[in-house]
Chains A and B, each alone.
Chain A
Amino acid sequence: MIDVLTSYTFLIVAIGTVILAFACGIVGTVSVIKGQSLIGDAIGHATFPGIIFAFMLVGVMETYTLALGAVIFGIFAFFTIQIITDSSKVTLDSALALILSSFFGLGMALKSYVQGHPGFSGTQGIDDYIFGQAAYMLRTDVYLIIIASVISLLLFMLFYSHIKIYVFDPIFSKSVGVNTGLMNFMILSMTIVLIAVGLKAVGAILIVNLLIAPGVIGLLWSNRFPMVLIIAGFSGAVSAFTGTYVSTVYAGFATGPSIILAMSILVLLSMVFGSKGLLHTHRKRNQGVVS
């Protein structure tokens, strides 16, 4: 089983998923803290018709085009949600459910059209984008993940102080000269792009987990933003590696779901054992230290 670790396919897939999960963990933490975790879910589902439109336009499963289609639909979905919640009494909760299911419905309709149409060939790969099948990732898929993740992480590091103050205290951040609109836009674009490049690895339905779970884990272990980010990044990476390994060694374990399961186990453990988890707060409460 050790030779799995050095096999070419495994390495390609593992590099891709680990870097993706690391970047998603860090960027996603911001939305978890802002209480906007499920926007990523809606965007994730909404990218699916974008994939198929892109495929219909070019006729082949070409990584960059499909990712572009996903990004465009992700942006479209986000702004539709924004407009609906801003100018009607519809709540974010409902708007997310509506957009998520409508766009996914469009994707399903297009998928049935493409698959029933003799003009299109090579359509069996479409399902990989719904459930994620990292085993079929190509070199270009991994390159794209690396490019998107590295750019996102660099931007995040560069604007770290801005982002931190903006998320914690938006009006104060404005008063010291932070461009809050730009920060918001940057976080959003990073989220959408990471979702788009990660679809093939994890799938449209489950990708939101990569954005939420690491941040949640980080928040269960630390009081400090930089520490939360680091823990989030690494728990994402560890889950991705474990999930990829399991899916390579055991038949029938799709990569995406395996990563999500590994991550879920980490969440559960952190809820119990984390320094802010159940056991710890329970002990503190018994000693009467909690303020």
Chain B
Amino acid sequence: MTRNIIEVSDLSVAYAHNPVIWHINLAVKANSRTAVVGPNGAGKSTLIKSIMNLNKPLSGKVEINGKKPKHALKNIAYVPQKGEVNWDFPTTVLDVVLMGRYVHKGWFKRMNKADVAAAMDALSTMKMEAFKDRQISELSGGQRQRVFLARAICHDADFYIMDEPLQGIDITTEKLIIDTIKALQAKGKSFLVVHHNLDTVEEYFDHVIILNKSVIAQGTIEEAWKKENIDKAYDDRSVTT
């Protein structure tokens, strides 16, 4: 029986008095690759933002390693959705990856050689060393995603939260990202990934949470990834009746 890295109990979140997620009880196993799937508007992004304490829940609580999220943020590496980033910002690839070190440095200390070395390591893991001085806006979608994963690696957290990291990227990058995730898992890291492609869930992940406003099913792929659960999540009628 493995330990839970995240425990969510009775979590409900409402935006403008409309419940987006409802009575969520879930656990993410330590050292797992857990996918969050569900139709559009199922509350996937809301769920991961609540886990990171980025919005105020209506009720319920989240614990990360038995601590409140606020005190566990240092240990979470977050990979944002594409639309959240200001692509006009003048910054190079290496610079973005170095941002992953900020949490460890304290805010007012400068980066040193060890930080740069860590960033270069992360870049080479993602096969992006050659691009280190490129401006982030000059990269393709797949290359950008690699940079953000490199930033997360550089952050050196135990737990990774990713919001649709595989959306709109090339197949080579997709494979590289999944291989990297598996390699990191072998080193003891845990992953919670919002995922949109139902065809690849079994291949890429070992645990799954099927969400549609509340949790439809969760557990290992064998336990939870069943046709009736998927149908239930993606069939609107099951929600309103």
Contact = CB atoms under 8 A, between A and B. Distances in A.
Please say whether the chains A and B touch (CB closer than 8 A): yes
Main DSSP-derived SS at the A contact region:
helix
Interface stretch (A16-24, A104-112, A173-181): A173-181
A109 B138 CA distance: 50
A93 interface: no
A120 B54 CA distance: 54
Contacts of A165: 99, 102
Given A158-B108, A161-B107, A291-B138, A171 B54 contact: yes
A170 B87 CA distance: 12
B54 A174 contact: yes
A117 interface: no
B73 interface: yes
Contact of A172 (B80, B89, B91, B133): B80
Interface in A161-192: 161-162, 164-165, 167-172, 174-177
A89 interface: no
Contacts of B139: 291
Contacts of A35: 88
Interface stretch (A58-66, A218-226, A260-268): A218-226
B117 interface: no
Contact of B84 (A34, A162, A170, A291): A170
B52 interface: yes
Contacts of A162: 107
A147 interface: no
B121 interface: no
Band of interface residues on B: 20 to 34
Nearest to B85: A169
A228 interface: yes
A223 B91 contact: yes
A279 interface: no
B95 A225 contact: yes
Band of interface residues on A: 20 to 34
Contacts of A171: 49, 54, 78, 80, 84
Nearest to B55: A174
A176 B84 contact: no
A175 B90 contact: no
Contacts of A223: 90-92, 133-135
Interface string A218-239: 1100111101100000000000
Given A165-B99, A228-B90, A291-B140, A172 B78 contact: yes
Q: Closest 5 interchain pairs by CB?
A: A223-B135, A175-B78, A168-B89, A171-B84, A228-B90
9 contacts: A33-B89, A167-B86, A169-B84, A170-B84, A171-B54, A175-B76, A223-B134, A224-B90, A228-B90
Interface of B: 49, 52, 54, 73, 76, 78, 80, 84-86, 88-92, 95-96, 99, 102-103, 107-108, 133-135, 138-140
Interface of A: 33-35, 158, 161-162, 164-165, 167-172, 174-177, 218-219, 222-225, 227-228, 291
